[in-house]
Amino acid sequence: MTSCGNEPLFDGGAGCGSCYEIRCVAANNPSCSGQPRTVVITDMNYYPVARYHFDLSGTAFGAMAKNGLNDKLRHAGIIDMQFRRVRCNFPGMKVTFHVQRGSNPNYLAVLVEYANVDGTVVRMELMQTKNGRPTGSWEPMRCSWGSIWRMDTNRPLQGPFSMCITSDSGKTLVANNVIPAYWRPDKAYWSNVQFY
């Protein structure tokens, strides 16, 4: 249930991870159920056809249809729909830190996934471990793109890493030792924390 969003929705990457309730109505297309569905903004849409443009996944597009008409609605192309920003809700899920491909001891890039409530992370910090103990010092990471945060260093980073994230409402979570000392690129690490 994902969507690309044009600039007002993606907001230069700050909108990545935000949730929207969407629906289309039968007055606009007879295949529409009128039932609201929730989607998560995951990428930028560079070719919008309206002021606010959702480029929905096939699953999300079809989910707005009446029973048995999801393929027909998906093939309708561009349709008018209603939308509003809502709190994200990932039942049973905890915030996940996905170490990105290309990460190495001097460059760590991490995608934040499944953040409830606001869904938008505006700050991320990392605490290293030295000699088997946390350093006690939070180091700010830089936003690379969307919900991917990175740290570039001249000296190799030492894990395990604790991560501190702040949402756009100012709420903060700390996931202690969430990324292990022997982490691997292209692997997700589940935390035991979540925004409520």
- pLDDT tens digits, 93-112: 999 999 999 999 999 999 99
Q: What residues make up the domain containing 139?
A: 96-190
What is the share, in percent, of the chain residues with pLDDT greater than 70? 99
The answer as to whether 196 is a domain residue is: no
Domain end residue (candidates: 86, 104, 124) = 86
C-alpha dihedral, 97 to 19 to 25 to 80, nearest 10°: -90
47 and 117 both lie in a single domain: no
80 and 114 both lie in a single domain: no
What is the share, in percent, of the chain residues with pLDDT greater than 90? 76
61 and 17 both lie in a single domain: yes
Across 168-192, b (16+ Cβ under 10 Å) vs e yields beeeebebebbbeeebeeeeebebe
Domain end residue (candidates: 30, 54, 86) = 86
**Cβ atoms of 94 and 194 closer than 8 Å:** yes
60 and 109 both lie in a single domain: no
Query: What's the pLDDT score for residue 72?
Result: 92
- pTM beyond 0.85: the answer is no
76 and 118 both lie in a single domain: no
CATH number for 183: 2.60.40.760
174 closest CA partner among 122, 109, 127, 139:
127
Regions of the chain with pLDDT less than 50: none
DSSP state of 160: S
56 and 134 both lie in a single domain: no
The CA distances from residue 42 to 144, 159, 161, 179, 186, in Å, are 14, 28, 25, 23, 17
The answer as to whether 117 is a domain residue is: yes
Domain end residue (candidates: 57, 86, 115) = 86
70 and 140 both lie in a single domain: no
Query: What's the pLDDT score for residue 112?
Result: 93
Domain total in the chain: 2
